[in-house]
Every structure is written in structure tokens, then in C-alpha cells.
Amino acid sequence: MIRRIVFCLASIGWFGGLARAQTLTQIADTLYNADGSKASGRILISGTAFKAVSGETITGGGTLTYTVIDGVVNLSLTPNLGATPAGTSYRARYELANGARYTETWVVPATGPVKISDIRVPVAPSPTVLFDASQLTGILGTLHGGTGLGTLGAPGECLQVNTQGTALAYDSCATGAGSGITSLNALTAATQSFAIGSAGTDFGIISSGSTHTFNLPTASATVRGALSPADWASFNNKESPLTFSAPLSRLANTISLPQADGATNGFLASADWTLFNGKENALTFSAPLSRLADAISIPPADGVNSGYLAAADWNVFNSKENALTFNSPLSRSIDTISCPACELTGNKNVANGYAGLDAAAKIALSQLPGHTHSEADVTNLVADLAAKESAANKNQPSGYAGLDASSKLAASQMQEVMGVAGLSDFASKSGTGTAAIGATPTALAADDMLRWSGTDWVNAAAAPKAIALAANGGNCPAGNAPLGVDASGAAESCFDVATQAEHDTHTGDTAAHSATSLNTASRIVRRDATGNFAAATVTAALAGNASTASALAANGLNCASGEAAAGVDAAGAAEGCAVLKGYVLTLAHSAFNPADATAYYWGSLFNAGPTPAATTRRILIPKSGTIRRADLFLALAVAGTNEPSTVSLRVNDTTDTTISSTLDLSSNIVVVTNASLAIAVSAGDYVEIKWVTPAWVTNPTTISGYGTLYIE
């Protein structure tokens, strides 16, 4: 029996350079960053060798670099969709200016233009696996598949061992006496197959039974094999080898940069930075200034050159006349002053000249031509003159009154308006009385008035003026007085009062006004005839000399330490005790502008600002106690930035106790309170406020301060 084994063989080739073909597909798109801006960078495109559908052979292994500017992608590639071998693809690696690094797989169709989203595939297609004939045992790597024949057989023929068993020959697949391959890699099964595996630490072929297994393990640090996608992605994302240009250098994993100096390029040291930063910025000079190395020059000015004004020239220019200005009709042209419209003085008051003015700035009559008119020649002149008042009638009977120097009528020109003798019929003027006032009234005084007596006008003395309303006291009972007055003058309610006699005798109609010699509650105690109180009426125990005592003194021993008697009982003992409180010291300073990082002291001088000198603003402690609370109030005309500062209370210029370490002057009104202080002080001690300012970005200004210290 003839055994036939038919193989389809193709060579396995690694990709080389990427070549452009005649048939290309355009890829046109726009790339955007995540924030919506257009991307820039580059796309590195590579691939394996393939045969395009149009017949062109495309080599692999090279890399096409396309630069993306302002998001624009416009390039052409040979289509690999449907190419041979099947499953070929392009690998596109993005390296963008925003730092993004990623890789895509592209499969390009034969027609375009297309967008990147049209050619991007999530999973790379699996290429067809081809084996080189040299990898198969028993096949010679010679012409025409290792048959040793000069020509190939006809279509449909099979390659068989000839009937003599001496060579291979083509013959009908149905005939032939020769036998086929009897053993492949030591396997002799009539039908054999191939399989793919990943066992082992290197590529190897294991033949067992009727199967030949091609093992290609995943590559690792100890295994040679196929590169896994994860490792490929890891290696692909690594930084490309870096090169360093002077002054940068690299030794193993150390990158170095020397310090710059006059002979070496490198980094700028902080000391050099401070030195250079303190130098003058480069100066530029415009003519007439010039610079040669470190010398700055300016030439003297003259008629041709700009420059500095020499002292001699200054004196010349300074002696010249100030620039003159000319008003019409005068004019000036360079150094010539002219007056084309001016009249010569010789033409004044002469024929064909001009008329001069007299002292009243008028043309003299002698300069006017002789010409007269009658009054009738002037329209309305006769009537207007007839309507005028003649000056001869001034201050004359039936004339008009003239004004004096103060533009008022003279008294001699006025009639008596209210003269007594001039009123002959007062009835027609007042509506009362029938006789003339005449001279009957005597001389009138202030507040006097004329009164009609029934027959004549007489002088009535001034009536008294009422300054208040008086109620009728008769409307109230004895011992009472009016509380108010109604419209008719009657008392409007009454209230109880004591009379002077009742006060003198301590007796009265009511118990409240009476006095007694008895010790009766709520009653006035009456002195005896000698002016003394009866012994039985005084029950309080008097401390000290009773005859000279002005107050009752309570026994302070009845109260605890720190307390005082609130009252005194009849026996002289304290009646209730009150806790003694402390006292308050007031501090202040006038407006001032603080400097950065400075300790200031203030307290006693209200009209002076804080000072860096301690003990000059301190306040005396008048009484021993404990400072329990400090309140500070600061008013700022201009607030600063919010850097915190510390304000303390200094005692005797030795001990500081913090009031606040977070004083913030970023607002115009600042209040600081510390009610948890416990600073013991003695009479004669001194205290002052100490404030250490920060380094502000913006300093506060015009700060006024006020404060209080509470001492128990």
C-alpha cells in the first residue's frame, strides 16, 4: 500500500522595514486631550511583513514616525485587511506631549478615508502560523520543496516514491507503486497531526503517538520562549535609553550635574545666585549716551552733536532773552517783529489819519463833523422829555423826594406816621373811642398801654404778667396740698403734706408725721427737751465714742477672709457678708505703625505709641493680688495680612505670660481676651504689655490700642 502524506509549507520570516505601496488608504482624524484641547506628540507605527490584497509585498520590522501637531492626523498606510498571511495588523504607539503613553492595534481596510476609530481593534488578530521546511524532519531544503526534481508536477498529481523505490516522482494520485514516508520524527502512524503547546523551558518538538507537539513556553527570567502580552506591555512602557549632554553626565544609575564656575558649566549655587541677584541689571544706552566695557560716556553738546551742556554754554544760554510771544496785530517771523495793521503815531488827529481819544476815552468834539438836529428831528424825543421830572423839583413841594448818601429818604421828607398830635379821629382808625388822643396821655413807659376810660384815652400802667397757674388750696383738707390745677383754677386732687409746725413739734394729724419718745417701729423718735434721745429709744450697740460717732460699725471678724460686712445689726454684728472683688488697671497707646519682627511694649502712656524699649510704658501695681483677666482692644486704619503674633504680659521686666499667641491683624477691629490668667503680683510691682510682631506680607498701619487688667 502506498502511504501519502501531503504538507502545505511556507517560510517563517521576521518583519523588516515598513515600505510604502502604490495602493494606500488615507487615515484622517483629530486627536483631543481629556480637557478638550487639541493633542500634540507623535505616533510610532510598526508591523510585520505581508502581501497586500492588491498584490504588493510589504516588508516589516521598521517604524514609521508620524508627528501630530495641533491634533491633526493625516497619513496613508497600505491596507492589511484581507492580506496574506491572514491576521496581520499594525502596532501604533502614542507618545503625546501631555505625558500619555499607550499602544493600539490597527487593521486598515482597502477603501478610505477612515478615522482612527474605524481601524482600531480591541484584540490583535491571530496571524496564520507558518513553518519553514527546514524544521520538518525528512524533507530536504532543496529546489521545489526538496523533491530533487527539476520541475513540479502537473496540477492534481501527487508526489510519490517511484516503483523502483529509488527516487520521488509525480504521478496520478490514484496510482503508483511506491511507498510514502514511513516515519516522521520517529512516529510511524499512517495519519499524523501537529499540536501547539507551552511546556518546557525552551522551544521544542515532542512527538508521541501520532501527534507532533510544538512547545513554545512563555518567556521569563529563566525560560526562553514567547513574550507574553503583559511582559510586552511592561517592556513597551519603559523609558527609552536616555542620553545626556554636558554638563549632565551619567554613571550607572547616577545622573550628575557639576557646580558652575568660571571654567565649568553646571548648576548655579545659592551663594552665586545671591551674588548675581544683587548685581545691577544689564543697562542699555541710547545716544548721546554710550558704553565701552565698564565706561559710560556722553560727549559735550554742540551745534551738530547731542550731549551734555557745558558750563560755558549754560552761561551763554542763561543770559539770553526769554522767548517772547506776540498778540495781534503784532507778529514775528524768526527775528523780525512786524505790525502790518498798526497805525503810525504821526497820523493821529491829522487829515487822512485817525482820531485820538480824550481823557474820558471819547472822541473830542473837535474831531466830529459839524452837524445839528432839532428836538423834533428825533422820534418821540419831545414826548419823552415832557414825561421826565425836572431836577428843579427835587425835595420841593409837589415835587419828589431825593435820597440821602445811604440811598434812603431823609427824615425831613417824611410825615409823622403815629404822632400823638396828628391823630384827630382815633375812632376811624381803631374802631373804638370817639375822641382824639390828643396830648391827654402822659409819657408812655415800657409795657404801658392806652386804655379807653369811657370818655377819653388814658395811660394805663403795665399789667402784671402771670408766670404760672395757682390751684385753690382751699379745695384740699388740712395737711394736704393741691396736686394739680384744672382749667377753672381749682385743685385737681390733693396729697398729704406735713406743715412746718408739724415738723417742728413732730406731731401731726397723721401717724406718719407724728413723733414719739417711745421706741415704736416705723415712727420718728423725738428728742427730749435737752435735744437728746431717751435711752430707751436707742437699741443699737454703738462702737467707739457714741457722742462723736457718725455711723454704726459692724464687726468685721464676723466675715471670712476676702469678705466684708454688708450691714450691721442692732448688736453691732455684721448683718450679711459680701465677697470682696478686685480692681481694674487701664492700659492704652496712641496710633503707630509697627515694623516686622519687633518686640514692642505699651501700657501707661495713653498719648504715646508702643516702643521697643522695655520699662518705659509700665504700670505700677497699687495693691497685691492676682491678675485674672486681660482684655485688649485694637483699632486699625489699614488691616494687614493674617500672620499670627504673640502678645504677653511682662511683670517686673523679667517674666512673660502669654495672653494670646494667635493675634491676627487682618481686620480693622481686633479684640483679645484671656480670662484664665493667674499671675500673682505684689504692691509695688510693674507690669506692661509685650507684643512681638511677625513678618507680614502686608503690614497693618495706624494701630490704636486700649486694654484692661482685672486684679483680685
Q: Over 80: is that where the pLDDT of 470 sits?
A: no
With b for 16 or more beta-carbon neighbours within 10 A and e for fewer, the 21-55 pattern comes to eeebbebebebeeeeeeebbbebebbbbbbebbee
Q: In whole angstroms, what is the distance from residue 176 CA to residue 158 CA?
A: 9
Q: Over 70: is that where the pLDDT of 419 sits?
A: no
Angle at CA of residue 392, ends 386 and 393, nearest 5°: 80
What's the confidence (pLDDT) of residue 238?
A: 87
Looking at the whole model, is its pTM more than 0.95? Answer: no
How large is the average pLDDT for residues 669-674? 95
Model pLDDT for residues 571-588, shown as the tens digit of each residue? 667 777 766 678 899 999
Determine contact, residues 602/691, Cβ cutoff 8 Å.
Answer: yes
Parallel, antiparallel or unpaired: strands 515-516 and 524-525: parallel
Q: In whole angstroms, what is the distance from residue 101 CA to residue 39 CA?
A: 13
Parallel, antiparallel or unpaired: strands 449-452 and 457-460: antiparallel
Q: Over 80: is that where the pLDDT of 688 sits?
A: yes
Name the pLDDT band for 498 (thresholds 50, 70, 90): low
Name the pLDDT band for 679 (thresholds 50, 70, 90): very high
Name the pLDDT band for 677 (thresholds 50, 70, 90): very high
What's the confidence (pLDDT) of residue 449?
A: 67
What's the confidence (pLDDT) of residue 142?
A: 45
Could you tell me which residues are beta bridge partners of residue 422? none
Phi, psi dihedral angles at 565 (to 5 degrees): -65, 135
What's the confidence (pLDDT) of residue 57?
A: 86
With b for 16 or more beta-carbon neighbours within 10 A and e for fewer, the 423-450 pattern comes to beebeeeeeebeebbeeebeeeeeeeeb
Which uninterrupted H or E stretch holds 634? Answer: strand 625-638
Q: Over 90: is that where the pLDDT of 485 sits?
A: no
Q: In whole angstroms, what is the distance from residue 20 CA to residue 108 CA?
A: 14
What's the confidence (pLDDT) of residue 62?
A: 82
Of 150, 89, 141, 156, which Cα lies nearest the Cα of 119?
89
How large is the average pLDDT for residues 422-434? 43
More confident residue, 285 or 574: 285
Contacts of 568 (CB under 8 A, 6+ apart): 540, 552, 553, 554, 574, 575
How large is the average pLDDT for residues 596-621? 92
192-to-4, 183, 224, 349, 647 alpha-carbon distances in Å? 11, 10, 28, 152, 98
Greatest mean pLDDT among 304-308, 457-461, 632-636 lies in 632-636
What's the confidence (pLDDT) of residue 468?
A: 56
Contacts of 421 (CB under 8 A, 6+ apart): 438, 439
Greatest mean pLDDT among 283-287, 523-527, 564-568 lies in 283-287
What's the confidence (pLDDT) of residue 175?
A: 47
Could you tell me which residues are beta bridge partners of residue 584? 710
Contacts of 216 (CB under 8 A, 6+ apart): 196, 197, 198, 203, 225, 226
Longest dimension (CA), the chain: 196
How large is the average pLDDT for residues 299-303? 89
What's the confidence (pLDDT) of residue 533?
A: 64
What's the confidence (pLDDT) of residue 376?
A: 75
Is residue 259 classed as helix, strand or coil in its secondary structure?
strand
Lowest mean pLDDT among 213-217, 422-426, 647-651, 671-675: 422-426
Q: Over 70: is that where the pLDDT of 506 sits?
A: no
Q: Supply 306's cell numbers.
A: 547731542
Is residue 267 classed as helix, strand or coil in its secondary structure?
strand
Which uninterrupted H or E stretch holds 579? Answer: strand 577-579
Greatest mean pLDDT among 48-52, 149-153, 379-383 lies in 48-52
Angle at CA of residue 156, ends 154 and 161, nearest 5°: 75
Model pLDDT for residues 51-69, shown as the tens digit of each residue? 888 888 888 878 889 999 9
Could you tell me which residues are beta bridge partners of residue 655? 651
Q: In whole angstroms, what is the distance from residue 497 CA to residue 476 CA?
A: 11
Greatest mean pLDDT among 251-260, 428-437, 438-447 lies in 251-260
Is residue 73 classed as helix, strand or coil in its secondary structure?
strand
Could you tell me which residues are beta bridge partners of residue 257? none
Of 420, 418, 399, 400, which Cα lies nearest the Cα of 409?
400
Q: Over 50: is that where the pLDDT of 671 sits?
A: yes
Q: Pseudo-torsion of CA 225, 229, 233, 235, nearest 10°?
A: 0
Match 504538507 to its residue by C-alpha cell.
Answer: 7
Name the pLDDT band for 418 (thresholds 50, 70, 90): very low
Q: Supply 570's cell numbers.
A: 442692732
How large is the average pLDDT for residues 211-224? 92
Q: Supply 17's cell numbers.
A: 522595514
Distance from the first to the final alpha carbon of the chain: 130
Lowest mean pLDDT among 103-107, 328-332, 353-357, 420-424: 420-424
Determine contact, residues 626/681, Cβ cutoff 8 Å.
Answer: yes
Determine contact, residues 55/22, Cβ cutoff 8 Å.
Answer: no
Contacts of 165 (CB under 8 A, 6+ apart): 178, 179
Contacts of 24 (CB under 8 A, 6+ apart): 76, 77, 78, 79
More confident residue, 452 or 236: 236
Q: Over 50: is that where the pLDDT of 177 sits?
A: no
Q: Quick one: what percent of the chain has pLDDT higher than 90? A: 32
What's the confidence (pLDDT) of residue 670?
A: 94
499-to-395, 480, 481, 512 alpha-carbon distances in Å? 77, 9, 10, 12
Model pLDDT for residues 349-388, shown as the tens digit of each residue? 888 888 888 888 888 877 777 667 777 777 887 787 777 7
Name the pLDDT band for 424 (thresholds 50, 70, 90): very low
Q: Supply 351's cell numbers.
A: 487829515
Could you tell me which residues are beta bridge partners of residue 32? 38
Query: How many CB atoms are located within 10 Å of the residue 164 CB?
Result: 9
The burial of 582, by beta-carbon neighbours within 10 Å (0-12 exposed, 13-18 middle, 19 or more buried), is given as middle
What's the confidence (pLDDT) of residue 224?
A: 92
Of 604, 590, 606, 578, which Cα lies nearest the Cα of 687?
604
Average pLDDT over the chain reads 78
Match 526769554 to its residue by C-alpha cell.
Answer: 322
Parallel, antiparallel or unpaired: strands 494-496 and 480-482: antiparallel
Match 514567547 to its residue by C-alpha cell.
Answer: 226
Determine contact, residues 371/365, Cβ cutoff 8 Å.
Answer: no
Q: Is the peptide bond before 288 cis (omega within 30 degrees of 0)?
A: yes
How large is the average pLDDT for residues 33-38? 91
More confident residue, 150 or 219: 219
Model pLDDT for residues 116-138, shown as the tens digit of each residue? 999 998 887 776 555 554 554 44
What's the confidence (pLDDT) of residue 150?
A: 63
Determine contact, residues 687/709, Cβ cutoff 8 Å.
Answer: yes
More confident residue, 572 or 710: 710
Which uninterrupted H or E stretch holds 270? Answer: helix 270-277
How large is the average pLDDT for residues 90-114? 92
Is residue 481 classed as helix, strand or coil in its secondary structure?
strand
Parallel, antiparallel or unpaired: strands 583-592 and 295-297: unpaired
Model pLDDT for residues 508-539, shown as the tens digit of each residue? 445 544 555 555 655 566 666 666 666 555 55
Q: Supply 541's cell numbers.
A: 450697740
Q: In whole angstroms, what is the distance from residue 499 CA to residue 418 CA?
A: 57
Contacts of 427 (CB under 8 A, 6+ apart): 433, 434
What strands lie across the sheet with 101-106, from one edge to the other? 63-68, 41-47, 90-96, 101-106, 120-121
Match 488691616 to its residue by C-alpha cell.
Answer: 639
Single-letter code of the amino acid located at 505? T
Q: Quick one: what percent of the chain has pLDDT higher than 70? A: 71
Alpha helices for 517-623 (secondary structure H): none
Of 279, 126, 136, 156, which Cα lies nearest the Cα of 214?
136
Determine contact, residues 109/27, Cβ cutoff 8 Å.
Answer: no
